[in-house]
Amino acid sequence: MRILYLDLDSLRPDHLGCYGYHRTTSPNIDEIAKEGVMFTNYYCTDAPCLPSRSALMSGRFGIHNGIVGHGGTAADMRREGPSRDFNDKLVHESLPGSLRQLGYKTATISTFAERHSAWTFNAGFNEVFNIGAKGHESAEQVLPVALKWLEDNGSADNWFLHLNFWDPHTPYRTPEEFGQPFAEDPMPEWLTEEVFNQHKQKVGQHSIDHMNELAKTHYFRWPRHGKPIEEYEDLRTIIDNYDCAIRYMDAHVGQVLRKLKQMGVLEDTAILISADHGENMGELGIYSEHGTADRGTCQIPMIIRWPDGAKGIVDEGLHYHLDLAPTLASLLGGQKASSWDGQSYADSVLSGADTGRDYLVFSQCAHVCQRSVRFGDWLYIRTYHDGHHGFPKEMLFNLTEDPYEQHNLAEERRDLCKEAVYYLNEWHDEMMSTMEHDVDPLWTVMKEGGPFHAKEFKI
């Protein structure tokens, strides 16, 4: 089996055509979705970048592996200590390490490890290709390395390639010559002038006002960020730039797929398309950032086209991104590693069966300190440090009626808040009882002065 895992940074599912978006942002990704299983309630356990990919590759929640933030103690993976053998467990129990145990050649084309000094991310890979721009490279720089690797290895059997494109991550760096493909397309319907005016009143990190400041201090090097967001029509600058980045990246994904087709191996290659986290585009009044434990930040796409697997299926079950390691192990005849927190959804991939969970808990400790519970129609967010956003301790949103998190119902539905807290406590009890440490890294972040990016923010 050949496996291509497309790790597309900051990609929210509802800005893809296959997930119902009204703009043509993703024609190549959409074609893959038609031929496989598309998961609509797929979440990263820990956000944003460093905690998410650390959880994915280790197969463990951040509370277990120790990485929940972007700085301080909680940005380093916990060591095994006295029980460590000649090699640590990541050699065999990381996602790529487990595939090597099954006879796979594993490779990553990504600068992620250097960007965050997350060297444990590379554990289990035979080959690591670091283009050297620490996440600031655009798709045209990544593509030649990917095509060369496929030319050298694609015809062989039993390989796993992790291919990382960064384009939807701020700042949106699509070359000017790509143009403005969505200049005539309407914005998302929910982003009305009334909503915009409400968001303009928000003061704090990641508000429209703050993003205007970042454009002047950080993003000015990229021409698409030159226009400040002052009037309602200016808002399309953010939406168009993000969508343009997705379309640009999708074009390069298409070239990768065409290379596999030219080599005659596309049909026999498993294609997985996902992300590390999403990108808030107005949720909680936040734009162009992934700094909360809400749906905008934590919901990610997952599309799996598996040879001989189910086709044209939409899976609405609740899944974690760290469920991928046990899923691949099950699909390939391997065993679930003892350290993994995930559970397999292989039956969803093979037959479209319902393998979803009853509820999910996910965390954010890089910009804020929050834990959230996703259950039924509901999202409950509990805030321990608000990251200069002014968030209340509890927020509750009905995602069916209010998918963009504009109406906090926590005061009106205390019954549902109590139910969510019960789920949160059940999860926390299980996590603390199945770890060798007695320290929750969320509280480590709090005791070290709060979330890393909140320390940078000045009101």
The per-residue pLDDT for range 347-403, each reduced to its tens digit, is: 999 999 999 999 999 999 999 999 999 999 999 999 999 999 999 999 999 999 999
Is a pLDDT exceeding 70 seen at residue 210?
yes
State the chain's maximal CA–CA distance in angstroms.
62
Measured from the Cβ of residue 431, the count of other Cβ atoms closer than 10 Å reads 17
What letter represents residue 91's amino acid?
V
What letter represents residue 74's amino acid?
A
Give the pLDDT confidence score for residue 247 in this predicted structure: 98
| Stretch 191-198: mean pLDDT | 96
* 204 — pLDDT class (breaks 50, 70, 90): confident
Give the pLDDT confidence score for residue 205 in this predicted structure: 85
Q: Which residue has the higher pLDDT, 311 or 455?
A: 311
408 phi, psi to nearest 5 deg: -80, 120
The per-residue pLDDT for range 411-450, each reduced to its tens digit, is: 999 999 999 999 999 999 999 999 988 899 999 999 999 9
Give the whole-angstrom CA distance, residue 37 versus residue 348: 8
Give the pLDDT confidence score for residue 422 in this predicted structure: 98
| Stretch 304-324: mean pLDDT | 98
* 455 — pLDDT class (breaks 50, 70, 90): confident
The per-residue pLDDT for range 106-141, each reduced to its tens digit, is: 999 999 999 999 999 999 999 999 998 999 999 999
Is a pLDDT exceeding 90 seen at residue 161?
yes
Measured from the Cβ of residue 57, the count of other Cβ atoms closer than 10 Å reads 29
Under a CB-based contact definition with an 8 Å cutoff, are residues 235 and 187 in contact?
Answer: yes
Give the whole-angstrom CA distance, residue 357 versus residue 308: 25
- The mean pLDDT of the chain is 96
The per-residue pLDDT for range 11-63, each reduced to its tens digit, is: 999 999 999 999 999 999 999 999 999 999 999 999 999 999 999 999 999 99
Under a CB-based contact definition with an 8 Å cutoff, are residues 334 and 327 in contact?
Answer: no
Residue 9: C-alpha distances to residues 52, 75, 411, 446 (Å): 11, 19, 35, 27
Is a pLDDT exceeding 80 seen at residue 147?
yes
Q: Tell whether omega for the bond before 307 is within 30 degrees of 0, i.e. cis.
A: no
Give the whole-angstrom CA distance, residue 316 versus residue 202: 33
* 458 — pLDDT class (breaks 50, 70, 90): low
Give the pLDDT confidence score for residue 414 in this predicted structure: 98
Please indicate, yes or no, whether the overall pTM of this predicted structure exceeds 0.95. yes
| Stretch 184-195: mean pLDDT | 96
Give the whole-angstrom CA distance, residue 276 versus residue 55: 10
Walk me through the domains of the chain, giving residue ranges and CATH numbers.
2-355 (3.40.720.10)
Is a pLDDT exceeding 70 seen at residue 209?
yes
Is a pLDDT exceeding 90 seen at residue 216?
no
Give the pLDDT confidence score for residue 215 in this predicted structure: 86
Measured from the Cβ of residue 203, the count of other Cβ atoms closer than 10 Å reads 14
